[in-house]
Chain A
């Protein structure tokens, strides 16, 4: 018995290490899926050492990192890991990873690929219907016993025939578009480049807003998209317009959006993301025409299981010199 254990320990000592600074939610819930013959997780968050000390002491064995949005891979961290070959993130976004340094050193990055697309698209459409048809606010009304007391609830807004402008027609945006067509919405979009799709393209997000009844933000957060949804865009969207955001909070000028909502310069919003999570501007908490979600658009059990399998698949590919399953390529 002891000999086998020693043998196993001896073997695992030779397994490449995958650093985890903070566990991504899928790992927390489905840890058993990360047991592999190809690698061993190195959990910095279970150590009493400071992160820097931990990295320095393990630098020689760390070949990969497993992270997600709330566990940034900074320049400082990268500099402490000379053997690093791959960063795997359990997210679609890579704005929390220092991409220029990764590119410079030839460190590959793998993300969640298109695994999120369906769940994120479902959340976006759910938020759109919720805001236009007042689902969460009517549910609140009923639970307060007001239907019997006050009577009818204010009418919502019809989806059919509405123009919905998708900001960012990537994997998620495309899935949103496909769903919206079934509701009779006219789909328009803005993206870095025109795509071979039957939807009207607007090269300028302000023009998109001027021609839309709702904007759905599905794009990544980059230097170009930061605060892209600004006052000008919101005024172009207009008093009847609504915004749904399942991308990143910082794509919208949040303070400006709050002002526009409070003043009625736009009609409502469905938000899964915020500039400074978990902080949500308190004015929003008082509004009936907004639907607020704690950045969980992709938190379905099915998605988490898929994410675990994809992350493990990418790591195993690295360590067996196979092509990565979902590499992020430079665009």
Chain B
């Protein structure tokens, strides 16, 4: 398979890169200075694209690669892949579902605890030497146990978040495109209503045209000055400007954010706030899970080129 051209959209994982290099004819898109020229030159060689949450295969790229057969994404979210175009052209698409569900859900709970219990702020307080000096600002944190958690999107990740939150005796409410039968969780038919009926709101749905800016001013107002937003979805789920001003002005109680509209750019106003916790898009960022994801990408590519059934096809 060493002659098969695979285009890797951006750096994402050293092991994956090394394996792709070993098994295929790997092109690293980010090392190319003139991308248009490059695509013209290589258009008959490239039969696969490997993308992730940062860069995938948009319409322009797909059109530039007439021999493209498969897009294998190192992510579960496919918002960076033009699915309509792929279906139209018969290009297969695979992602990495299930293997990262637990890690993302774990991080969601970690962010809730870090925000409510001010873990990062307290760590800064100790490191600064203020505790030793007796600069003892006696403020209390907010208890996590028993707080109502509202989940937007009750797919694999949403359900995993619910299961964990239940262990902390948190009542679970949710919003989903349709109500799910036989669930002990309470359904709300709109995000605003959900936000009005929970303490902590978690974004766990896919990013689509419908869900872009699903967290807007109205939702933020409904969540309120004691409410906490946790985003483990995609940056564009949230109207970031509205979020920042709400946090700065105290209209929203706090936020735990793993994703941003313009990664790796993070609004600097957030750096001065004690009621936010900021992470560099590491929902699936564990050694174990990234390796499993990489193996799944490699497995899908090999299956495709050996004419075997794909492991985790979406189309």
Contacts and interface: CB of A to CB of B under 8 A. Distances in A.
Interface in A257-300: 277-280, 285, 291-294, 296, 299-300
Contacts of A184: 102
A127 to B, nearest CB: 7
A147 B145 CA distance: 32
A157 B284 CA distance: 10
Interface in A145-196: 145, 147-148, 151-153, 155-160, 178-179, 181-184
Contacts of A143: 271, 278
A156 B285 contact: yes
Contacts of B131: 277-278, 280, 294
Given A118-B145, A122-B145, A122-B168, A138 B126 contact: no
A293 B126 contact: yes
B279 interface: yes
Interface stretch (B88-96, B111-119, B241-249): B111-119
A173 to B, nearest CB: 15
A226 interface: no
Contact of A294 (B11, B125, B163, B169): B125
Given A135-B119, A155-B285, A129 B109 contact: yes
Given A135-B119, A157-B287, A130 B167 contact: no
A134 B103 CA distance: 13
A160 B102 contact: yes
A303 B288 contact: no
B32 interface: no
Contacts of B27: none
B140 interface: yes
Interface string B72-115: 00000000000000000000000000000011001101110110
Contacts of A127: 119
A303 to B, nearest CB: 6
Contacts of A299: 140-141
B127 A292 contact: yes
B89 to A, nearest CB: 32
Contact of A126 (B113, B127, B129, B287): B113
B289 interface: yes
A320 interface: no
A119 B143 contact: yes
A136 B120 contact: yes
A155 B100 CA distance: 13
Nearest to B110: A129
Given A182-B167, A183-B164, A300-B143, A133 B280 contact: no
B132 interface: yes
Given A126-B114, A293-B123, A300-B140, A179 B168 contact: yes
A151 B164 contact: no
Contacts of A183: 102, 106, 109, 164
Nearest to A293: B122
Contacts of B122: 292-294, 296
Contact of B143 (A153, A158, A302): A302
A271 B56 CA distance: 41
B273 to A, nearest CB: 10
Interface residues of A, number: 58
Given A123-B117, A129-B106, A142-B278, A136 B134 contact: no
Contacts of A160: 102-103, 106
A118 B141 CA distance: 14
Interface string A103-143: 00000000000000011011101110110111110111111
B314 interface: no
Contacts of B110: 126, 129-130, 133, 135
A200 interface: no
A304 interface: yes
A107 B168 CA distance: 36
Given A133-B282, A155-B286, A278 B266 contact: no
Contacts of A121: 145
A224 interface: no
A28 B140 contact: no
B142 interface: yes
A161 to B, nearest CB: 8
A25 interface: yes
Nearest to B118: A296
Contacts of A181: 167
Interface in B253-294: 263-266, 268, 271, 277-280, 282, 285-290
A276 to B, nearest CB: 10
A97 B122 CA distance: 28
5 contacts: A135-B110, A135-B111, A152-B11, A278-B134, A293-B126
Q: Which 9 A-B pairs have the closest CB atoms?
A: A126-B113, A182-B167, A129-B110, A118-B145, A300-B143, A292-B126, A302-B143, A158-B286, A147-B264
Given A29-B140, A299-B141, A301-B141, 15 more contacts: A122-B117, A123-B117, A129-B107, A139-B114, A142-B278, A148-B264, A183-B106, A278-B132, A278-B134, A280-B131, A280-B132, A292-B123, A292-B127, A293-B123, A300-B142
Interface of B: 11, 102-103, 106-107, 109-111, 113-114, 117, 119-120, 122-127, 129, 131-132, 134, 138, 140-146, 163-164, 166-169, 263-266, 268, 271, 277-280, 282, 285-290
